[in-house]
Structure 1
């Protein structure tokens, strides 16, 4: 009942306030509340009791025990500031970032756009973050929290660094962040940093992933790929990840495709370049997931992300071969009880399965 009241209330606030507010500003307002939550022990305790996932939904992969299959994708917490609050809201793991070795402001504003009719976003944020050194200090503090979620750290190329020097740039982030990460995700698939997606070409990707993997030591390393790759490219990168001894593949990042949208074409064109995320990505993301799973061993970690809104979406990804599932865009539309609701419905599903 409390969850339903919060959900309905958020819907009213979203339509009346957030939908009329600049999307990036709305994000900062919501994020401030999430950061504040752990500082109110009574409220934090109540929220945690409602949001806690079922122990039966836990899974061990990459040598790490995840308390649930469902987590938050990179992009929401770019600077590792809200891990505790996000864990309280029911996410079994939180992937922070994308973090770059050098601090950077990102692209010019406006750079985040809602497609409300499509339950989607277009972003060209450009890896705005405070840099790896600042994130490392926050991650060190976050790891001291015994109730924290699993922490993934997503790393990308600094914009001021030439593609030819990308390996050294990623290694600087790895050196600073790997000691405080449960796993590292190498982002070579955002469409918002010039030249970045070119790193998915095998002749550039192999030395990059090999170097990060070696530098990370025992910390598992995954590679995050784009949904706009051809099937042959997906097969090749998944095979490369296995050959190099990586821990997994994250399938997938945002898309540059704009087909099949409900939002008027002129409105979409006015928003400009950027990566599309949310419900329209669901079908392609499932295709990419199945393609990756067909190439890699059964015990290889595959994280599915893209178009995940409901518990049924989570289950569909698991049935298609996902080890873990992430969401992000639906969080903005569904509100603070989103992960709680998914955890509750998964608990019911798992109980039915045990009868």
Structure 2
């Protein structure tokens, strides 16, 4: 594929050169005067680079080229750091949506494969919701080698979110404070985008180790897509908004997430109370189950919770999850707290949720507690502060079946993905685990 791409590029360059010359002559144009010496040198240099690049691409195999392209993206990180963080975010989405990002051509190590919810993840490293808010770029993001990508949060009506500025880098701490406020294009626009990609993403069914049929995803398949739904800021009947999201979007989701934990929508976190959460989940489950589903059945339903919860809050959520047989939890969203390493910084006074390295310990402690409270019966996606394979491994040992990145990806770019997967595989092999699933929750047993 890479060699063919190089040869095609070379042919296009030569073809366009011939086309320009012949069309100019056919139009009766006078012969173009020769370029000045500097111009000829520059033109010759550029053409030489194209020819050399085309020749190189045709000679190397895809894995080598893939490795080179991922490493090359590191040179762009300083440029993105000079931009306003929200502008940089938009540019990253634009690049991913047009495929101007490296594609992973190397297979994931077998030790990283995870089967859960009837889905096969080629690796457990995903991209958290909040990055591709309106499902504009998930195909390009999946192509980078994430095991799964979660889009959203998506609300019934489009909304602009909170006033700008609303994103703040704390680079020295590897952290970000944001108060976006569920800015997204709304259900109607997102439905059109997902529908356009739906048939292309239809996964194949393959047998697992127990001869059950699972959907094959990840780099080797069509990729696994999570859809995260939320409520509009001004909606009083929150359940009605989530039900609309289920009816419109669940048919496109490999798994569905109810977000009740963003700190940037007033009153949203109150839905984590036991009665409120139980009522909401019952209505969402009913909305999902009343739809027509094929052989694979409805998508699993997860709830994303906050890290700023008391022990009683966690016990209540665990009880609801077990009683209603919730398919999974995501732990956790951003925190409204300001750990000591952050609290003395001027930007710490900005309102919004804190993500990144300072969130790691808090979110991992909550993850471990919830794994114990649910007796390991509810699969958990660990999210918050992961910036290395060792971090991902600690989340898994604390009870996570899968993990998600956001802030570290925003800082480090595409090169971080293969790095984390390689480091995670080494951690598992170092400690004698033959799979991710063998390591889940070992620190809780």
> Do both proteins adopt the same fold according to a TM-score greater than 0.5, normalized to the shorter chain?
yes
Cα distance in 2 for residues equivalent to 1:337 and 1:144: 29
Aligned to 1:113, the other structure's residue is in SS state strand
Cα distance in 2 for residues equivalent to 1:7 and 1:262: 31
Contact 2:246 2:287 in 1 (8 A): yes
Return the offset for 1:340: 1.5
Return the offset for 1:54: 2.2
Cα distance in 2 for residues equivalent to 1:98 and 1:294: 28
**1:43-54 aligned within 5 A:** 47-50=103-106, 52-54=107-109
**Partner residue of 2:330?**
250
Return the offset for 1:149: 1.6
Contact 2:162 2:181 in 1 (8 A): yes
Select the residue among 144, 149, 162 that pairs with 2:223. 149
**Partner residue of 1:296?**
374
Return the offset for 1:261: 2.4
Contact 2:232 2:241 in 1 (8 A): yes
Return the offset for 1:179: 0.9
Cα distance in 2 for residues equivalent to 1:10 and 1:294: 40
Tell me the C-alpha RMSD between the 2 structures. 2.1
**Partner residue of 1:196?**
268
Contact 1:79 1:130 in 2 (8 A): yes
Based on CA coordinates, which of the two structures has the bigger radius of gyration? 2
Cα distance in 1 for residues equivalent to 2:396 and 2:198: 28
Seen in structure 2, the aligned counterparts of structure 1 residues 201 and 78 have a Cα distance that, compared at 3 Å, is same
**Partner residue of 1:14?**
77
Instruction: State whether structure 2 residue 125 is matched by structure 1 residue 96.
Output: no
Return the offset for 1:143: 3.0
**Partner residue of 2:93?**
31
Return the offset for 1:323: 0.8
Cα distance in 1 for residues equivalent to 2:122 and 2:67: 24
Higher relative contact order (CA 8 A, sep 6+): 1
Cα distance in 2 for residues equivalent to 1:6 and 1:113: 29
**CA deviation vs aligned residue, 1:216-248 (integer Å, no higher than 9, x gap):** 222211111000011221121022112111101
Aligned to 2:99, the other structure's residue is in SS state helix
Return the offset for 1:3: 7.5
For structure 1, the 5+ residue unaligned runs are none
**1:173-188 aligned within 5 A:** 173-188=245-260
Contact 1:281 1:306 in 2 (8 A): yes
**Partner residue of 2:3?**
none
Cα distance in 1 for residues equivalent to 2:77 and 2:415: 14
TM-score by length of 2: 0.73
Cα distance in 1 for residues equivalent to 2:422 and 2:93: 23
Return the offset for 1:351: 5.3
Cα distance in 2 for residues equivalent to 1:59 and 1:7: 24
Cα distance in 2 for residues equivalent to 1:351 and 1:66: 19
The number of residues matched between the two structures is: 343
Seen in structure 2, the aligned counterparts of structure 1 residues 295 and 11 have a Cα distance that, compared at 3 Å, is same
Select the residue among 322, 325, 328 that pairs with 2:403. 325
Seen in structure 2, the aligned counterparts of structure 1 residues 53 and 142 have a Cα distance that, compared at 3 Å, is farther
TM-score by length of 1: 0.90
Return the offset for 1:295: 1.4
